[in-house]
Structure 1
Amino acid sequence: MENSWFERFSERISGKNGKWITVVLWIIMVGILNGLLPQANSQEDNAASNFDEDVPSVEASRIAKEQFPSDSGVPALITWYREDGLTQEDFQHIQQLSKEITEDPLPHQKGTIPYFQLPPQALKQQVSEDGTTIVQPIFFDENQETAVYKEGLEKVKSQVKDIFGSEPFQADIDADQTLVSRVTGPAGIAVDAEGLFSNADVSLLLSTVALVLIFLLVIYRSPILALIPLVAVGFAYGVINPLLGWMAAQGWITFDAQGLSIMTVLLFGAGTDYCLFLIARYRSFLKEEESRLTAMKKAFSGTAGAIAMSGLTVMFALLILLLAQYGTLQRFAVPFSLAILIMMIASLTLVPALLGIFGRGSFFPFIPRTPAMEEERARKKGKSVPKKTTKLTIWDRLGKLVIDKKWIIALTTALILGVLALFSTQTKYTFDTLSTFPEDTPSRQGFSLIGEHFDPGQLAPVQIIVQTDGKSTNIKENLEDLSYIAKVSDAKKAEDDPNLLSYSAEYSMNPYSQEAVNKIKNLRDISENALQSAAISNPEDKVWIAGQTAEQYDTSQIVNRDSKVIIPVIIVMIALLLVLYLRSLTAMAYLMATVLLSYFSAIGIGWIILHYGFGVEELQGFIPLYSFVFIVALGEDYNIFMISSIWKKSLSKKLGQAISEGVSETGSVITSAGLILAGTFAVLITLPIQVLVQFGTVTAIGVLLDTFIVRPFLVPSLTGILGKYAFWPSKPKLKTERSKSH
Structure 2
Amino acid sequence: MLSRHIGRWVAGKKSKWVTLALWVIIVGVLSMVWPGVHSMVQNNAANLDEGQPSVKAAAIAKEQFPSGSGIPALIVWNREGGLTESDFAGIQKLTDYFTANPLEAQSALPPFGQLPLPVLQQQASEDGAAFVLPIFFADSTDSDTLKAGTEEIRRQAEAVFGTDPFSTELKSGGLTARVSGPAGISIDAVGLFSNADVSLMIATVLLVLILLLLIYRSPILAIIPIIAVGFAFGAASPILGKMAELGWITVDSQAVSIMTVLLFGAGTDYCLFMISRYRQILLKQRDKIKALVEAFKDASGAIAMSGFTVVIALLVLLLAKYGAVHRFAVPFSLSILIMAIASLTLVPALLAILGRASFFPFVPRTPEMDTEYRRAKGKAVPAQANKKAKFGGAIGAIVTKRPWMVVIITLVFLGAAATNTFRIEYTVDLLSSFPEDSPSREGFAVIGEKFTPGELAPVKIMVDTEGKEVSLQQSLMGLPYLAKISEPEQGKKNGDIIAVDVEFSMNPYSIEAVNHIPDLRKTAAFALEEAGISPANSKVWISGQPAIQYDTEMVNNRDTEVVIPIVIGLIALLLLIYLRSVVATLYLILTVVLSYFSALGLGWFFVHDLMGTAAIQGLIPLYAFVFLVALGEDYNIFLISSIWKKRKSMPLKEAIREGVTETGGVITSAGLILAGTFAVLATLPIQALVQFGIITALGVLLDTFVVRPFLVPAITVLLGDWAFWPGKGAKEERITRVQA
Match of 2:242 in 1: 246
Are 1:76 and 2:90 an aligned pair?
A: no
Give distance in 2, aligned partners of 1:369 and 1:86: 79
Match of 1:336 in 2: 332
Amino acid at match of 1:161: E
Q: Show the 5 A alignment for 1:266-281.
A: 266-281=262-277
SS for the counterpart of 2:460 is strand
Match of 1:654 in 2: 651
Give me the TM-score of the superposition, normalised by structure 2.
Answer: 0.97
The one-character-per-residue Cα deviations of 1:549-596 (angstroms, maximum 9, x if unpaired) are 100000000010000000000000001011111111111111111101
SS for the counterpart of 2:351 is helix
The one-character-per-residue Cα deviations of 1:56-113 (angstroms, maximum 9, x if unpaired) are 1111111111222226632211111112222223223222322322333333333322
Q: CA deviation at 1:476?
A: 1.6
Give distance in 2, aligned partners of 1:499 and 1:100: 37
Match of 2:130 in 1: 133
| Distance change in 2, residues 1:486/1:380 (3 Å) | closer
Q: CA deviation at 1:734?
A: 4.2
2:26 to 24, 29, 45: 29
2:459 to 446, 457, 462: 462
Amino acid at match of 2:346: L
Are 1:546 and 2:543 an aligned pair?
A: yes
Amino acid at match of 1:214: I
Is the Cα contact below 8 Å between 2:106 and 2:136 reproduced in 1? Answer: yes
| Distance change in 2, residues 1:736/1:408 (3 Å) | farther
Q: CA deviation at 1:738?
A: 6.2
SS for the counterpart of 1:174 is helix
Match of 1:293 in 2: 289
Is the Cα contact below 8 Å between 1:184 and 1:444 reproduced in 2? Answer: yes
Amino acid at match of 2:37: A
Give distance in 1, aligned partners of 2:515 and 2:634: 39
Q: CA deviation at 1:114?
A: 3.1
| Distance change in 2, residues 1:387/1:532 (3 Å) | closer
Is the Cα contact below 8 Å between 2:596 and 2:629 reproduced in 1? Answer: yes
2:507 to 495, 506, 510: 510
Are 1:312 and 2:304 an aligned pair?
A: no
Q: CA deviation at 1:384?
A: 9.6
Q: Show the 5 A alignment for 1:108-127.
A: 108-127=105-124
Q: Show the 5 A alignment for 1:547-696.
A: 547-696=544-693
Match of 2:429 in 1: 432
Give distance in 1, aligned partners of 2:606 and 2:461: 40
2:704 to 707, 711, 718: 707
> How many residue pairs were aligned?
735
Match of 2:9 in 1: 12
Are 1:48 and 2:42 an aligned pair?
A: no
Give distance in 2, aligned partners of 1:181 and 1:384: 69
Is the Cα contact below 8 Å between 2:62 and 2:69 reproduced in 1? Answer: no
Amino acid at match of 2:222: A
Q: Show the 5 A alignment for 1:401-412.
A: 401-412=398-409
The one-character-per-residue Cα deviations of 1:356-380 (angstroms, maximum 9, x if unpaired) are 0000010111111111112223444
| Distance change in 2, residues 1:387/1:12 (3 Å) | closer
Q: CA deviation at 1:736?
A: 6.6
Give distance in 2, aligned partners of 1:572 and 1:390: 40
The one-character-per-residue Cα deviations of 1:141-176 (angstroms, maximum 9, x if unpaired) are 33122111111211111122222222221122232x
Give distance in 1, aligned partners of 2:459 and 2:69: 16
1:101 to 98, 102, 108: 98
Moved more, 41-50 or 138-147: 138-147
Give distance in 2, aligned partners of 1:21 and 1:215: 31
Give distance in 1, aligned partners of 2:496 and 2:69: 24
Give distance in 2, aligned partners of 1:562 and 1:26: 37
Give distance in 1, aligned partners of 2:541 and 2:149: 33
Are 1:198 and 2:194 an aligned pair?
A: yes
Amino acid at match of 1:352: P
Where does the alignment leave 5 or more consecutive residues of structure 2 unmatched?
none
Amino acid at match of 1:75: P
Are 1:210 and 2:221 an aligned pair?
A: no
Amino acid at match of 2:502: A
Amino acid at match of 1:22: T
Match of 1:91 in 2: 88
Give distance in 2, aligned partners of 1:260 and 1:385: 46
SS for the counterpart of 2:67 is coil
The one-character-per-residue Cα deviations of 1:667-699 (angstroms, maximum 9, x if unpaired) are 010000000000000111111111111111100
Match of 1:526 in 2: 523
Are 1:396 and 2:390 an aligned pair?
A: no
Is the Cα contact below 8 Å between 2:158 and 2:164 reproduced in 1? Answer: yes
Amino acid at match of 1:366: F
Cα RMSD (Å) of the superposition? 1.8
Is the Cα contact below 8 Å between 1:654 and 1:734 reproduced in 2? Answer: no
Q: CA deviation at 1:34?
A: 0.7
Is the Cα contact below 8 Å between 2:410 and 2:710 reproduced in 1? Answer: yes
Is the Cα contact below 8 Å between 2:27 and 2:234 reproduced in 1? Answer: yes
Q: Percent identity?
A: 55
Give distance in 2, aligned partners of 1:185 and 1:496: 28
2:343 to 320, 344, 347: 347
Is the Cα contact below 8 Å between 2:675 and 2:700 reproduced in 1? Answer: yes
Is the Cα contact below 8 Å between 1:650 and 1:735 reproduced in 2? Answer: no
Q: Show the 5 A alignment for 1:376-391.
A: 376-380=372-376
Q: CA deviation at 1:387?
A: 14
Give distance in 1, aligned partners of 2:39 and 2:612: 38
Where does the alignment leave 5 or more consecutive residues of structure 1 unmatched?
none
Give distance in 2, aligned partners of 1:412 and 1:182: 54
Give distance in 2, aligned partners of 1:349 and 1:90: 67
The one-character-per-residue Cα deviations of 1:273-324 (angstroms, maximum 9, x if unpaired) are 0000010010011110000011111111111000000000000000000000
Amino acid at match of 2:155: S
SS for the counterpart of 1:245 is helix
1:373 to 345, 357, 369: 369
Are 1:727 and 2:724 an aligned pair?
A: yes
Give distance in 2, aligned partners of 1:594 and 1:385: 41
Is the Cα contact below 8 Å between 1:652 and 1:735 reproduced in 2? Answer: no
SS for the counterpart of 2:650 is coil
Amino acid at match of 2:477: E
Match of 2:490 in 1: 493
Give distance in 1, aligned partners of 2:503 and 2:69: 17
Give distance in 2, aligned partners of 1:325 and 1:461: 26
SS for the counterpart of 1:198 is helix
Amino acid at match of 2:193: F
